[in-house]
Structure 1
Amino acid sequence: MAKSIPAKKKKQTQKKGILQESIGKKLSVAIITYNEEKNIKECIESCLEIADEIVVLDSISTDKTEMISKSFSSVRFYKQRFKGHIEQKNDAIALCKYDWILSLDADERISTELKNSILSFKQKQDDETLNGLQVSRLTYHMGKFIRHSGWYPQYRYRIFKKGNAIWVGENPHDYISIQGKGSKIYGDIIHYSFRDLSHQVNTINQFSSIVAFTRQKKEKDFLF
């Protein structure tokens, strides 16, 4: 089902899907997907220089998500039925083998500034008390970057030590909660949110259905 990560050689040149050998901290990248053929290639490519492994947990996509993901030899690809955003992300974390993890959505990319900051962070001596790093997210919405109205900078924990962080919240609105000390790291996760108005309306409808199902399951009152 999953591809094993190929043995790495010193001073290897980077080819498609091959991760550079790193010295210092090892970093896993965890991505959840469902029908993300339009996003997953660029998401994976943005991580190749910083990741020591890339784990993709797919919710049984019906498009080319699996084929595209498996075209990168560095990706370990898994499938399971969708349990909820929070549950999927925590399951993806559990599949990662390294202590430090970066959790991404398929419609997100690593900026050059964040890539350089992560590479620098990986080379530094480990601070045993540090369990998480907050990253600013910059949203690209229907042709424009949004840097106002509380949308930016939007700091959230996205890099963390395995065993000291967990996705929590109420589906589909989730966030990472860490135990212990946290800090911030320079650079942005670029979020390509909605392609057009139709995509936005469809997403809102999907999310409202998820919220309704979640609240019904928990026997919570609705706010309308």
Structure 2
Amino acid sequence: MSEISVIILTYNEEQHIQRCIENVKSFSKDIFLVDSYSTDQTVEIAGNTGAEVFQNKWENNYAKQFNWGLENLPIKTKWILRLDADEYLLPELIDEIKQKLDILPENATGVVFKRRHLFLDKWMKRGTYPVKLLRLFQYKKAVCEQRWMDEHIQLLEGDAIEFEHDFVDHNLNNLSWWTQKHNGYAIREAIDLLDVELGLLGNQESQLQLSKQASAKRRTKYKYAKQPLFWRSFAYFIYRYFFKLGFLEGKEGFLWNFLQGWWYRTLVDAKIYEIKKACGTDKTKIKAFINTEYGLKL
């Protein structure tokens, strides 16, 4: 089988990192951590589990950190797998990688996996599953797109192909941690939506290739950004919980769809409302406000 390097970005992931590394050992040549100077036992555990650890200062930008890894890690393999510390591959997906990677079409430079999300230790089969993400790609033939939120791997050349089996997002932290994390995500998502609505960052759409799934998701996000504040988060919850049958997942399904589908999206809209109330639609004022109030320099 073609050799694979795994890149994992970390900051204080001692609860997850051993599980993640052990999961990919059977098929990876090198496992690299790009660590943002963790203050817990992440680095020690990773080193003892067989990963090589490199540290780079976090600059509030996932894409910048991941692309730093692509440019600076001693990568010697044809393929790279992007994985978060709280993720792991199911055995069926590992077998599929081993069986199919060497017989892919010549033009296939990226591979899309289905993400299975566990919330409160339960698989959320309905509501959002499956989310399809390009996570395996050929070295020097892809980069991580520069966005404040919802960044994807973009191919520089070639095409993406989809595998059948799943990888798993299974975070073991408690709900207090989860809500704090999503509070931090909310301002980043607000920036992304303001960029769609107002051209806040002045970026032109990238000409690099997203997977079909990521492109469809991006188009949906653009439509979402054009809808009225607060109504759109409510409608999104109704769509997920009722039309996508999230209610069949029991109490965990209600909490997942309410917290991630309505509460979080309403928090994003509240931050947009706060920003517009203070700045109107003046892009210079908005950038200054976000820098002053949230410490993010756009």
TM-score of the superposed pair, with normalisation by structure 1 = 0.80
What displacement does 1:210 show? 4.4
Match 1:105 to one of 84, 98, 101: 84
Secondary structure at 2:145's aligned position in 1? strand
Describe how 1:1-224 pairs up with structure 2 within 5 A.
24-73=1-50, 75-83=51-59, 84-94=61-71, 95=73, 96-122=75-101, 124-125=102-103, 127-149=105-127, 151-178=128-155, 179-193=157-171, 195-211=173-189, 220=201, 223-224=272-273
What displacement does 1:99 show? 1.7
- Structure with the higher fraction of residues in helix conformation: 2
What displacement does 1:208 show? 2.6
- Aligned equivalents of 1:126 and 1:137: distance in 2? 21
- Aligned equivalents of 2:48 and 2:158: distance in 1? 38
State the one-letter code of the partner of 2:130.
P
Does structure 2 conserve the Cα–Cα contact (< 8 Å) formed by 1:135 and 1:189? yes
Secondary structure at 1:131's aligned position in 2? strand
What displacement does 1:219 show? 5.2
CA deviation vs aligned residue, 1:173-194 (integer Å, no higher than 9, x gap): 2111113211111221100146
Does structure 1 conserve the Cα–Cα contact (< 8 Å) formed by 2:110 and 2:160? yes
CA deviation vs aligned residue, 1:47-83 (integer Å, no higher than 9, x gap): 001111111100000000000011023x111001002
What displacement does 1:209 show? 4.4
Change over 3 Å in CA distance of 1:155–1:213 after alignment to 2: closer
Q: How many residue pairs are counted as aligned between the two chains?
A: 197
Secondary structure at 2:83's aligned position in 1? strand
Does structure 1 conserve the Cα–Cα contact (< 8 Å) formed by 2:148 and 2:191? no
- Aligned equivalents of 2:119 and 2:172: distance in 1? 6
Higher relative contact order (CA 8 A, sep 6+): 1
- Aligned equivalents of 2:190 and 2:45: distance in 1? 33
Match of 1:20 in 2: none
Does structure 1 conserve the Cα–Cα contact (< 8 Å) formed by 2:121 and 2:170? no
Secondary structure at 1:170's aligned position in 2? coil
State the one-letter code of the partner of 1:82.
W
Secondary structure at 1:105's aligned position in 2? coil
Change over 3 Å in CA distance of 1:77–1:144 after alignment to 2: same
Unpaired segments of 5 or more residues in structure 1?
1-23
Query: Equivalent pairs: percent with the same residue?
Result: 26
Does structure 2 conserve the Cα–Cα contact (< 8 Å) formed by 1:141 and 1:195? no
TM-score of the superposed pair, with normalisation by structure 2 = 0.61
Over the aligned positions, Cα root-mean-square deviation in angstroms equals: 2.4
